[in-house]
Protein backbone atom coordinates (compact mmCIF):
# COMPACT_ATOMS: atom_id res chain seq x y z
CA UNK A 1 0.00 0.00 0.00
CA UNK A 2 1.15 3.54 -0.80
CA UNK A 3 -0.08 6.93 0.36
CA UNK A 4 -0.04 9.66 -2.26
CA UNK A 5 -0.66 13.35 -1.51
CA UNK A 6 -1.69 15.71 -4.30
CA UNK A 7 -1.39 19.51 -4.02
CA UNK A 8 -4.73 21.32 -4.32
CA UNK A 9 -5.94 24.78 -3.38
CA UNK A 10 -9.15 23.45 -1.85
CA UNK A 11 -11.00 20.16 -1.55
CA UNK A 12 -14.77 19.74 -1.33
CA UNK A 13 -16.28 16.60 0.16
CA UNK A 14 -19.77 15.13 -0.13
CA UNK A 15 -21.11 17.53 2.50
CA UNK A 16 -20.31 20.64 0.43
CA UNK A 17 -22.91 22.22 -1.81
CA UNK A 18 -22.77 24.27 -5.01
CA UNK A 19 -22.71 27.49 -2.97
CA UNK A 20 -19.41 26.41 -1.41
CA UNK A 21 -17.64 25.69 -4.68
CA UNK A 22 -18.94 28.88 -6.27
CA UNK A 23 -18.09 31.15 -3.35
CA UNK A 24 -14.55 29.88 -2.82
CA UNK A 25 -13.51 29.20 -6.42
CA UNK A 26 -15.63 30.73 -9.16
CA UNK A 27 -16.99 33.97 -7.74
CA UNK A 28 -13.65 35.87 -7.54
CA UNK A 29 -12.92 35.00 -11.18
CA UNK A 30 -16.40 36.00 -12.33
CA UNK A 31 -16.24 39.38 -10.61
CA UNK A 32 -12.75 40.08 -11.97
CA UNK A 33 -13.98 39.58 -15.53
CA UNK A 34 -17.14 41.64 -15.00
CA UNK A 35 -15.84 44.53 -12.90
CA UNK A 36 -12.19 44.83 -13.96
CA UNK A 37 -12.25 43.77 -17.59
CA UNK A 38 -10.12 40.75 -16.75
CA UNK A 39 -9.79 37.36 -18.40
CA UNK A 40 -11.00 34.45 -16.27
CA UNK A 41 -11.21 30.79 -17.20
CA UNK A 42 -12.88 27.98 -15.26
CA UNK A 43 -12.09 24.52 -16.57
CA UNK A 44 -13.84 21.36 -15.42
CA UNK A 45 -11.77 18.18 -15.78
CA UNK A 46 -12.27 14.56 -14.76
CA UNK A 47 -13.32 11.11 -15.76
CA UNK A 48 -16.60 10.30 -17.44
CA UNK A 49 -19.44 10.22 -14.91
CA UNK A 50 -17.57 12.04 -12.11
CA UNK A 51 -19.95 15.02 -12.04
CA UNK A 52 -18.31 17.68 -14.21
CA UNK A 53 -21.51 18.82 -15.92
CA UNK A 54 -23.41 18.79 -12.62
CA UNK A 55 -20.80 20.97 -10.92
CA UNK A 56 -20.59 23.32 -13.90
CA UNK A 57 -24.37 23.77 -13.89
CA UNK A 58 -24.22 24.93 -10.27
CA UNK A 59 -21.53 27.45 -11.17
CA UNK A 60 -23.44 28.71 -14.22
CA UNK A 61 -26.61 29.34 -12.22
CA UNK A 62 -24.83 31.43 -9.59
CA UNK A 63 -22.56 33.11 -12.16
CA UNK A 64 -25.53 34.46 -14.13
CA UNK A 65 -26.99 36.17 -11.09
CA UNK A 66 -23.58 37.45 -9.91
CA UNK A 67 -22.86 39.11 -13.27
CA UNK A 68 -26.02 41.19 -13.41
CA UNK A 69 -26.04 41.90 -9.69
CA UNK A 70 -22.51 43.29 -9.99
CA UNK A 71 -23.44 45.40 -13.01
CA UNK A 72 -26.55 46.75 -11.26
CA UNK A 73 -24.53 47.86 -8.23
CA UNK A 74 -21.56 49.29 -10.14
CA UNK A 75 -23.16 52.77 -10.50
CA UNK A 76 -21.63 53.03 -13.95
CA UNK A 77 -23.27 55.65 -16.17
CA UNK A 78 -22.65 53.60 -19.30
CA UNK A 79 -24.54 50.38 -19.81
CA UNK A 80 -22.15 47.40 -20.14
CA UNK A 81 -23.07 44.90 -22.85
CA UNK A 82 -23.11 41.21 -21.95
CA UNK A 83 -22.85 38.72 -24.83
CA UNK A 84 -22.53 34.96 -24.96
CA UNK A 85 -21.03 32.52 -27.43
CA UNK A 86 -21.34 28.79 -26.87
CA UNK A 87 -19.55 26.25 -29.04
CA UNK A 88 -18.40 22.67 -28.78
CA UNK A 89 -15.05 21.38 -30.00
CA UNK A 90 -15.47 18.00 -31.66
CA UNK A 91 -12.23 16.27 -32.46
CA UNK A 92 -9.15 18.20 -33.48
CA UNK A 93 -10.70 20.70 -35.91
CA UNK A 94 -14.52 20.65 -35.99
CA UNK A 95 -16.27 23.46 -34.13
CA UNK A 96 -20.05 23.56 -33.76
CA UNK A 97 -22.16 26.53 -32.72
CA UNK A 98 -24.58 25.39 -30.00
CA UNK A 99 -26.67 28.57 -29.93
CA UNK A 100 -28.27 27.78 -33.32
CA UNK A 101 -29.93 24.66 -34.65
CA UNK A 102 -27.79 24.41 -37.78
CA UNK A 103 -24.19 25.36 -37.32
CA UNK A 104 -22.29 26.82 -40.26
CA UNK A 105 -18.57 26.71 -40.93
CA UNK A 106 -17.29 27.98 -37.60
CA UNK A 107 -13.62 28.98 -37.56
CA UNK A 108 -11.09 30.65 -35.30
CA UNK A 109 -9.26 33.79 -36.35
CA UNK A 110 -6.78 36.14 -34.69
CA UNK A 111 -7.53 39.86 -34.38
CA UNK A 112 -4.94 42.59 -34.71
CA UNK A 113 -4.75 42.83 -30.93
CA UNK A 114 -3.77 39.16 -30.76
CA UNK A 115 -7.06 37.87 -29.36
CA UNK A 116 -8.75 34.89 -31.01
CA UNK A 117 -12.32 35.34 -32.21
CA UNK A 118 -14.88 32.66 -33.03
CA UNK A 119 -16.11 33.47 -36.53
CA UNK A 120 -19.53 32.49 -37.93
CA UNK A 121 -20.80 31.61 -34.45
CA UNK A 122 -23.82 33.38 -33.00
CA UNK A 123 -23.04 36.08 -30.46
CA UNK A 124 -26.17 36.78 -28.43
CA UNK A 125 -26.64 39.81 -26.23
CA UNK A 126 -28.38 39.04 -22.93
CA UNK A 127 -29.93 41.47 -20.48
CA UNK A 128 -30.90 39.33 -17.50
CA UNK A 129 -29.79 36.24 -15.55
CA UNK A 130 -32.83 34.34 -16.78
CA UNK A 131 -32.03 35.06 -20.42
CA UNK A 132 -28.40 34.07 -19.97
CA UNK A 133 -29.32 30.78 -18.28
CA UNK A 134 -31.92 30.08 -20.96
CA UNK A 135 -29.25 30.43 -23.67
CA UNK A 136 -26.86 28.17 -21.78
CA UNK A 137 -29.52 25.51 -21.21
CA UNK A 138 -30.52 25.54 -24.87
CA UNK A 139 -26.89 25.22 -25.97
CA UNK A 140 -26.13 22.36 -23.60
CA UNK A 141 -29.15 20.49 -24.94
CA UNK A 142 -27.48 20.41 -28.37
CA UNK A 143 -24.17 19.09 -27.11
CA UNK A 144 -22.95 15.79 -28.55
CA UNK A 145 -23.15 12.80 -26.24
CA UNK A 146 -22.52 9.10 -26.69
CA UNK A 147 -22.95 6.04 -24.54
CA UNK A 148 -19.70 4.62 -23.14
CA UNK A 149 -18.86 1.83 -20.75
CA UNK A 150 -18.71 4.40 -17.92
CA UNK A 151 -21.68 6.63 -18.69
CA UNK A 152 -24.82 6.29 -20.80
CA UNK A 153 -24.69 9.94 -21.92
CA UNK A 154 -20.99 10.78 -21.87
CA UNK A 155 -20.03 14.14 -23.39
CA UNK A 156 -17.70 13.51 -26.31
CA UNK A 157 -16.71 17.12 -26.90
CA UNK A 158 -15.37 20.13 -25.02
CA UNK A 159 -18.17 22.63 -24.32
CA UNK A 160 -16.86 26.21 -24.37
CA UNK A 161 -19.08 29.02 -23.08
CA UNK A 162 -17.61 32.50 -23.46
CA UNK A 163 -19.27 35.48 -21.82
CA UNK A 164 -17.99 38.93 -22.78
CA UNK A 165 -18.64 42.11 -20.83
CA UNK A 166 -17.91 45.24 -22.86
CA UNK A 167 -17.82 48.58 -21.10
CA UNK A 168 -17.23 51.94 -22.80
CA UNK A 169 -15.28 53.13 -19.76
CA UNK A 170 -12.82 50.25 -20.17
CA UNK A 171 -12.15 50.64 -23.86
CA UNK A 172 -8.80 48.89 -23.87
CA UNK A 173 -10.11 45.62 -22.54
CA UNK A 174 -13.17 43.47 -22.65
CA UNK A 175 -14.04 41.33 -19.68
CA UNK A 176 -13.97 37.71 -20.77
CA UNK A 177 -15.23 34.76 -18.75
CA UNK A 178 -14.72 31.32 -20.28
CA UNK A 179 -16.36 28.20 -18.85
CA UNK A 180 -15.08 24.90 -20.21
CA UNK A 181 -16.73 21.58 -19.50
CA UNK A 182 -14.14 19.15 -20.84
CA UNK A 183 -15.06 15.90 -22.50
CA UNK A 184 -14.93 13.01 -20.07
CA UNK A 185 -11.48 11.49 -19.84
CA UNK A 186 -11.27 7.71 -19.99
CA UNK A 187 -8.56 5.19 -19.40
CA UNK A 188 -7.56 2.94 -22.26
CA UNK A 189 -9.14 0.04 -20.37
CA UNK A 190 -12.49 1.87 -20.27
CA UNK A 191 -12.51 2.56 -24.01
CA UNK A 192 -10.88 -0.58 -25.39
CA UNK A 193 -14.24 -1.96 -26.53
CA UNK A 194 -15.38 1.26 -28.19
CA UNK A 195 -15.87 1.55 -31.92
CA UNK A 196 -13.02 2.99 -33.99
CA UNK A 197 -14.87 6.31 -34.07
CA UNK A 198 -15.16 6.45 -30.28
CA UNK A 199 -11.49 5.51 -29.91
CA UNK A 200 -10.51 8.29 -32.32
CA UNK A 201 -12.59 10.74 -30.25
CA UNK A 202 -10.83 9.66 -27.07
CA UNK A 203 -7.44 10.09 -28.72
CA UNK A 204 -8.29 13.60 -29.90
CA UNK A 205 -9.69 14.54 -26.48
CA UNK A 206 -6.48 13.44 -24.79
CA UNK A 207 -4.38 15.29 -27.39
CA UNK A 208 -6.21 18.56 -26.77
CA UNK A 209 -5.79 18.19 -23.01
CA UNK A 210 -2.08 17.56 -23.51
CA UNK A 211 -1.87 20.78 -25.57
CA UNK A 212 -3.63 22.64 -22.77
CA UNK A 213 -1.12 21.33 -20.25
CA UNK A 214 1.82 22.38 -22.40
CA UNK A 215 0.46 25.91 -22.84
CA UNK A 216 -0.12 26.45 -19.13
CA UNK A 217 3.30 25.07 -18.27
CA UNK A 218 4.88 27.37 -20.86
CA UNK A 219 3.16 30.35 -19.29
CA UNK A 220 4.15 29.29 -15.77
CA UNK A 221 7.79 28.97 -16.84
CA UNK A 222 7.76 32.38 -18.59
CA UNK A 223 8.43 30.85 -21.99
CA UNK A 224 8.05 33.54 -24.64
CA UNK A 225 6.38 31.38 -27.28
CA UNK A 226 3.25 29.65 -25.98
CA UNK A 227 2.24 26.72 -28.25
CA UNK A 228 -1.46 27.62 -28.26
CA UNK A 229 -1.92 26.82 -31.99
CA UNK A 230 -1.64 23.06 -31.41
CA UNK A 231 -5.39 22.60 -30.78
CA UNK A 232 -8.70 24.44 -31.11
CA UNK A 233 -9.11 24.39 -27.33
CA UNK A 234 -5.83 26.19 -26.69
CA UNK A 235 -6.43 28.64 -29.53
CA UNK A 236 -9.72 29.72 -27.97
CA UNK A 237 -7.91 30.15 -24.67
CA UNK A 238 -5.09 32.26 -26.11
CA UNK A 239 -5.98 35.33 -24.04
CA UNK A 240 -5.80 33.18 -20.91
CA UNK A 241 -2.17 32.46 -21.76
CA UNK A 242 -0.94 35.85 -23.01
CA UNK A 243 -3.07 38.52 -21.28
CA UNK A 244 -1.47 39.99 -18.17
CA UNK A 245 -3.41 39.18 -15.03
CA UNK A 246 -5.42 36.38 -16.68
CA UNK A 247 -6.73 33.92 -14.12
CA UNK A 248 -7.33 30.19 -14.54
CA UNK A 249 -9.03 27.70 -12.25
CA UNK A 250 -9.04 23.96 -12.91
CA UNK A 251 -11.62 21.92 -11.02
CA UNK A 252 -10.90 18.19 -10.79
CA UNK A 253 -13.98 16.02 -10.40
CA UNK A 254 -13.26 12.59 -8.98
CA UNK A 255 -15.43 9.57 -8.22
CA UNK A 256 -15.40 7.99 -4.73
CA UNK A 257 -15.83 4.40 -5.89
CA UNK A 258 -12.99 2.00 -5.11
CA UNK A 259 -13.10 0.80 -8.72
CA UNK A 260 -12.28 4.35 -9.84
CA UNK A 261 -9.23 4.80 -7.60
CA UNK A 262 -6.69 4.54 -10.43
CA UNK A 263 -8.68 6.98 -12.53
CA UNK A 264 -8.96 9.41 -9.61
CA UNK A 265 -5.19 9.29 -9.15
CA UNK A 266 -4.67 9.95 -12.86
CA UNK A 267 -7.11 12.88 -12.79
CA UNK A 268 -5.33 14.50 -9.82
CA UNK A 269 -1.95 13.90 -11.42
CA UNK A 270 -3.07 15.46 -14.71
CA UNK A 271 -4.56 18.51 -13.00
CA UNK A 272 -1.38 18.99 -10.95
CA UNK A 273 0.57 18.78 -14.18
CA UNK A 274 -1.74 21.25 -15.93
CA UNK A 275 -1.20 23.91 -13.27
CA UNK A 276 2.52 23.15 -12.94
CA UNK A 277 2.70 21.69 -9.44
CA UNK A 278 3.35 18.04 -10.27
CA UNK A 279 6.67 18.29 -8.43
CA UNK A 280 4.68 18.73 -5.22
CA UNK A 281 3.04 15.30 -5.44
CA UNK A 282 4.29 13.26 -2.49
CA UNK A 283 4.36 9.47 -2.56
CA UNK A 284 5.19 7.39 0.48
CA UNK A 285 7.19 4.20 0.45
CA UNK A 286 5.28 1.00 -0.18
CA UNK A 287 4.34 -1.03 2.87
CA UNK A 288 2.88 -4.49 3.24
CA UNK A 289 -0.57 -4.75 4.79
CA UNK A 290 -1.12 -7.93 6.78
CA UNK A 291 -4.41 -9.68 6.00
CA UNK A 292 -6.77 -10.14 8.95
CA UNK A 293 -6.80 -13.40 10.89
CA UNK A 294 -9.51 -15.48 9.32
CA UNK A 295 -11.95 -17.52 11.32
CA UNK A 296 -14.31 -20.09 9.85
CA UNK A 297 -17.36 -18.20 8.58
CA UNK A 298 -17.34 -14.64 9.83
CA UNK A 299 -20.88 -14.13 8.71
CA UNK A 300 -23.84 -16.45 9.08
CA UNK A 301 -25.85 -17.35 6.05
CA UNK A 302 -29.23 -15.70 5.66
CA UNK A 303 -32.16 -18.10 5.91
CA UNK A 304 -34.23 -18.74 2.81
CA UNK A 305 -38.07 -18.56 3.14
CA UNK A 306 -38.41 -22.36 3.11
CA UNK A 307 -36.31 -22.42 6.32
CA UNK A 308 -38.48 -19.92 8.18
CA UNK A 309 -40.40 -20.80 11.33
CA UNK A 310 -44.04 -19.88 11.81
CA UNK A 311 -43.01 -16.82 13.85
CA UNK A 312 -40.47 -15.67 11.25
CA UNK A 313 -43.10 -15.92 8.52
CA UNK A 314 -45.52 -13.75 10.50
CA UNK A 315 -42.84 -11.09 11.02
CA UNK A 316 -42.04 -11.06 7.29
CA UNK A 317 -45.67 -10.52 6.27
CA UNK A 318 -46.08 -7.80 8.90
CA UNK A 319 -42.96 -6.06 7.63
CA UNK A 320 -44.36 -6.16 4.10
CA UNK A 321 -47.67 -4.79 5.45
CA UNK A 322 -49.69 -7.80 4.35
CA UNK A 323 -52.64 -8.32 6.70
CA UNK A 324 -55.72 -10.53 6.85
CA UNK A 325 -53.81 -13.82 6.37
CA UNK A 326 -55.13 -16.75 8.44
CA UNK A 327 -52.04 -18.68 9.51
CA UNK A 328 -52.06 -21.64 11.86
CA UNK A 329 -49.10 -23.22 13.67
CA UNK A 330 -48.56 -25.64 10.80
CA UNK A 331 -48.01 -22.80 8.37
CA UNK A 332 -44.27 -22.08 8.23
CA UNK A 333 -42.03 -20.96 5.39
CA UNK A 334 -41.72 -24.41 3.85
CA UNK A 335 -45.51 -24.84 3.73
CA UNK A 336 -46.13 -21.51 2.00
CA UNK A 337 -43.34 -22.00 -0.53
CA UNK A 338 -45.16 -25.13 -1.69
CA UNK A 339 -48.45 -23.27 -2.20
CA UNK A 340 -49.64 -21.87 -5.50
CA UNK A 341 -51.49 -18.56 -5.83
CA UNK A 342 -54.77 -20.48 -5.88
CA UNK A 343 -53.89 -22.44 -2.71
CA UNK A 344 -52.97 -19.23 -0.85
CA UNK A 345 -56.21 -17.61 -1.98
CA UNK A 346 -58.34 -20.60 -0.97
CA UNK A 347 -56.75 -21.66 2.33
CA UNK A 348 -55.28 -18.48 3.81
CA UNK A 349 -57.45 -15.56 2.69
CA UNK A 350 -61.04 -15.36 3.95
CA UNK A 351 -61.85 -12.61 1.47
CA UNK A 352 -60.48 -14.72 -1.44
CA UNK A 353 -58.50 -11.72 -2.67
CA UNK A 354 -56.55 -13.02 -5.65
CA UNK A 355 -54.37 -9.89 -5.92
CA UNK A 356 -53.28 -10.30 -2.32
CA UNK A 357 -52.59 -13.99 -2.88
CA UNK A 358 -50.41 -13.17 -5.88
CA UNK A 359 -48.61 -10.49 -3.85
CA UNK A 360 -47.76 -13.00 -1.11
CA UNK A 361 -46.62 -15.53 -3.70
CA UNK A 362 -44.37 -12.98 -5.45
CA UNK A 363 -42.95 -11.55 -2.21
CA UNK A 364 -41.81 -14.98 -1.04
CA UNK A 365 -40.10 -15.81 -4.33
CA UNK A 366 -38.47 -12.41 -4.58
CA UNK A 367 -37.09 -12.86 -1.06
CA UNK A 368 -35.94 -16.35 -1.95
CA UNK A 369 -34.00 -15.01 -4.96
CA UNK A 370 -32.46 -12.22 -2.88
CA UNK A 371 -31.28 -14.62 -0.18
CA UNK A 372 -29.84 -17.01 -2.77
CA UNK A 373 -27.83 -14.20 -4.38
CA UNK A 374 -26.61 -12.95 -0.98
CA UNK A 375 -25.52 -16.41 0.17
CA UNK A 376 -23.66 -17.02 -3.10
CA UNK A 377 -21.68 -13.81 -2.59
CA UNK A 378 -20.86 -14.88 0.96
CA UNK A 379 -19.70 -18.34 -0.18
CA UNK A 380 -17.44 -16.79 -2.81
CA UNK A 381 -16.06 -14.34 -0.24
CA UNK A 382 -15.19 -17.12 2.19
CA UNK A 383 -13.45 -19.07 -0.58
CA UNK A 384 -11.38 -16.03 -1.52
CA UNK A 385 -10.47 -15.37 2.13
CA UNK A 386 -9.35 -18.96 2.58
CA UNK A 387 -7.18 -18.80 -0.53
CA UNK A 388 -5.69 -15.50 0.65
CA UNK A 389 -4.92 -16.99 4.07
CA UNK A 390 -3.33 -20.06 2.49
CA UNK A 391 -1.19 -17.88 0.22
CA UNK A 392 -0.14 -15.73 3.17
CA UNK A 393 0.87 -18.77 5.23
CA UNK A 394 2.84 -20.08 2.24
SS3 letters for the chain? CCCEECCCCCCCCCCCCHHHHHHHHHHHHHHHHHHHCCEEEEEEEEECCCCHHHHHHHHHHHHHHHHHHHHHCCCCCCCCEEEEEEEEEECCCEEEECCCCCCCCCEEEECCCCCEEEECCCCEEECCHHHHHHHHHHHHHCCCEECCCCCCCEECCEEEEEEEEECCCCCCCCEEEEEEECCCECCHHHHCCCCHHHHHHHHHHHHHHHHHHHHHHHHHCCCCCCCHHHCHHHHHCHHHHHCCCCEEEEEEECCCCHHHHHHHHHHHHHHHHHCCCHHHCEECCCCCCCCCCCCCCCCCCCCCHHHCCHHHHHHHHHHCCCCCCCCCCCCCHHHHHHCCHHHHHHHHCCCCCHHHHHHHHHHHHHHHHHHHHHHHHHHHHHHHHHHHHHHHHC
pLDDT above 80 (res 99): yes
Q: Give me the mean pLDDT over the 182-195 stretch.
A: 57
Q: What percent of the chain has pLDDT over 70?
A: 81
Q: What is the tens place of the pLDDT at every residue in 282-305?
A: 998 888 877 655 454 445 568 899
Distance (Å, whole) CA 299 – CA 320: 25
Are 114 and 237 in contact, with CB atoms under 8 Å apart? no
Q: How far is CA 94 from CA 24, 107, 237, 279, in A?
A: 34, 9, 16, 35
For residue 45, list its beta bridge partners. Answer: 252
Reported pTM: 0.66
Distance (Å, whole) CA 72 – CA 66: 10
Q: What is the tens place of the pLDDT at every residue in 104-143?
A: 788 888 777 667 888 888 899 999 999 999 999 999 888 8
Distance (Å, whole) CA 42 – CA 58: 13
Which residues fall within 8 angstroms of residue 292, CB to CB, at 6 or more apart? none
Distance (Å, whole) CA 289 – CA 287: 6
**Residue 42's pLDDT band (boundaries 50, 70, 90)?**
very high
Distance (Å, whole) CA 28 – CA 22: 9
| 4-283 CATH fold | Kinesin (3.40.850)
pLDDT at 192 (0 to 100): 47
Amino acid sequence: MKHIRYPVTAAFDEHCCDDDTYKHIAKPLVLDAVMNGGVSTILMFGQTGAGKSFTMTGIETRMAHSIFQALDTSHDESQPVVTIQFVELCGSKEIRDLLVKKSGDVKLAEDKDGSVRILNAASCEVTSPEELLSRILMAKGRRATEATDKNGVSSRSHAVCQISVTNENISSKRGLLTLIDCAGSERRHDSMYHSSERQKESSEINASLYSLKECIRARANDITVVPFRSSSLTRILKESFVRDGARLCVIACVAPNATDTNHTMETLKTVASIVGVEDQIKESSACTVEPPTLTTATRTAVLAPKQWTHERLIKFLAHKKVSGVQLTEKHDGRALMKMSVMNIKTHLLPDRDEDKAKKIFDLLRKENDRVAAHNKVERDRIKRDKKLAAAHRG
